[in-house]
Amino acid sequence: MRGIYFDLKMWKIILSKMKLAPKFLTFKYKEDWPKPKITHDNQVLVKTLNSGICGSDIHQVKLDMSYYASILSSPLNPAPIGHEVVGIVEKTKKNSFFSVGDRVILNPTVHCKSYGFSLCPSCQRGDWQHCYTLVGRGDKSDREESFKPYRGQIYGGYAEYFIAFEKNLYKVPDNIPNHIAVLMEPFTVALHAVLRNLPSDSDSIIVMGAGTIGLMTIAAIRALHKKSKISSIVRYPHQAEVAKQLGADEVLFSTPDKSKFYRDVAEKYDALVVNPLMRKPYIYGTKGPDIIYDTVATESSVEDAFHIIRSGGKIVLIGMGFSITKKVDWAVQVYKEVEITGSFLQSIGEFEGKVIDPYEFGIKYMSEHTELFENIVTHRFPLHAYKDAYSALENKSKSHAIKVIFDYT
């Protein structure tokens, strides 16, 4: 089968880390990868229909991601890649919950319930994003030993077929087309960030970044019926339109001149701007944005967030565009008493007293509001054209790309 796997040879890693590697050195595209096989009764073979390229995949290929979240910390080689997937069930074991031909989306986070393990302390709280199995631990007294039979049994949508655990698949209703179903995983990532950091109707919110996660964050706030004022910070005009379509009240363009940008934001909020000597201006006092969802999460965007958040406000970092920061002045955070929190993947959530499975919530919302998500997938490529696909995503000003997907149909 056609597929791209991540090839973790030491010399390739070293060259990449030294920034001497040609791009895609760690990608191994082949037409004849062996078709994966079901090895356990709780698994299903899925034929990929569409697979999205996540912003994190771009960092993975450059190996410039924090080691903690990097594919380098995976024990597998070659490692499968691709976690935004819609596909068709191709094969099941007897008595499966799924039938051949079912159209499904994938929760790529494999956790205790997926394996059928007794629940680890994280999973007992519904926090599958912190599951012990994610670091290779099973459920017996020797946790590593019980996990061994499953090594290598993880997802990978950059391939024609992949093995999934039944517990990680969800059936897709007929009225959600593939190019919308493929957005389910990023939607749940945004939903989780918003559920854990729920704004009030009177809050003024800034969503930084209008890539897929930024746009999905706007959608998630509205999906939770929040009337908060949302300002979307975008870089390109083609993003502005979609941000508004999904529920942003206004759009602000980020500019390379940061001082000007910070002053522009302050003016919008009628906030007090302080102009320290030899430093950039910043918003001071309790008037200004109440919550910033930073979906870019680079050193530069974190610096922006620190400067434009109001005193006592909250910054939610979604994503890992940075690792060790050197330029951000953390004293600003102390001085303004800003609350900073991270959000990773998704988990079982709670909303208005009800327990929410983020995928079930997303499927219901998307099936009732398909029109909202219509213009997010902008580019489709066959898998072998992966270099063109990445290039479209990395040159958004020219390509006008938002979500780029691989199309196997």
Contact footprint for Zn ion (CB under 5 A):
54, 56, 111-112, 120, 123, 131
Q: Which residue, 111 or 396, is less far from Zn ion as judged by CB?
A: 111
CB of 364 to Zn ion, least distance (A): 21
Q: Which residue, 265 or 316, is less far from Zn ion as judged by CB?
A: 316
Contact predicate 110/127, CB 8 Å: no
**Which H, E and C letters describe 194-214, residue by residue?**
HHHCCCCCCCEEEEECCCHHH
CB of 311 to Zn ion, least distance (A): 33
Q: Which residue, 131 or 180, is less far from Zn ion as judged by CB?
A: 131
CB of 112 to Zn ion, least distance (A): 3
CB of 119 to Zn ion, least distance (A): 6
Contacts of 356 (CB under 8 A, 6+ apart): 195, 348, 349, 350
> For 204-238, b where at least 16 C-beta lie within 10 A, e where not — what string?
bbbbbbbbbbbbbbbbbbbbbebebbbbbbbbbeb
CB of 146 to Zn ion, least distance (A): 12
Q: Which residue, 128 or 262, is less far from Zn ion as judged by CB?
A: 128
CB of 120 to Zn ion, least distance (A): 3
Q: Which residue, 110 or 240, is less far from Zn ion as judged by CB?
A: 110
DSSP state of 355: E
> For 306-334, b where at least 16 C-beta lie within 10 A, e where not — what string?
bbbbbbebbbbbbbbbbeeeeebeeebbe
CB of 132 to Zn ion, least distance (A): 5
Q: Which residue, 147 or 284, is less far from Zn ion as judged by CB?
A: 147
Strand pairing report for 339-343 and 314-318: parallel
Closest CA to 6 of 39, 16, 203: 16
Hey, what long-range contacts does 380-383 have (CB within 8 A, 24 or more apart)? 380/50, 380/179, 380/404, 380/405, 380/406, 380/407, 381/405, 381/406, 381/407, 382/406, 382/407, 382/408, 383/2, 383/3, 383/4, 383/29, 383/158, 383/159, 383/160, 383/408
Q: Which residue, 61 or 251, is less far from Zn ion as judged by CB?
A: 61
CB of 189 to Zn ion, least distance (A): 6
Q: Which residue, 54 or 208, is less far from Zn ion as judged by CB?
A: 54
Q: Which residue, 96 or 107, is less far from Zn ion as judged by CB?
A: 107
CB of 82 to Zn ion, least distance (A): 10
Distances (CA, A) of 322 to 8, 190, 298: 21, 18, 5
CB of 229 to Zn ion, least distance (A): 28
Q: Which residue, 61 or 131, is less far from Zn ion as judged by CB?
A: 131
372 three-state secondary structure: helix
Q: Which residue, 120 or 184, is less far from Zn ion as judged by CB?
A: 120
**Which H, E and C letters describe 135-163, residue by residue?**
HCCCCCCCHHHHHHHHCCCCCCCCECEEE
Q: How far apart are CA 286 and CA 275, in angstroms?
A: 17
Q: How far apart are CA 24 and CA 223, in angstroms?
A: 37
CB of 33 to Zn ion, least distance (A): 22
Q: How far apart are CA 304 and CA 254, in angstroms?
A: 10
**Where do we find the tokens 């992949």?**
162
Residue 319: left (phi > 0), alpha (psi -120 to 50), or beta? left
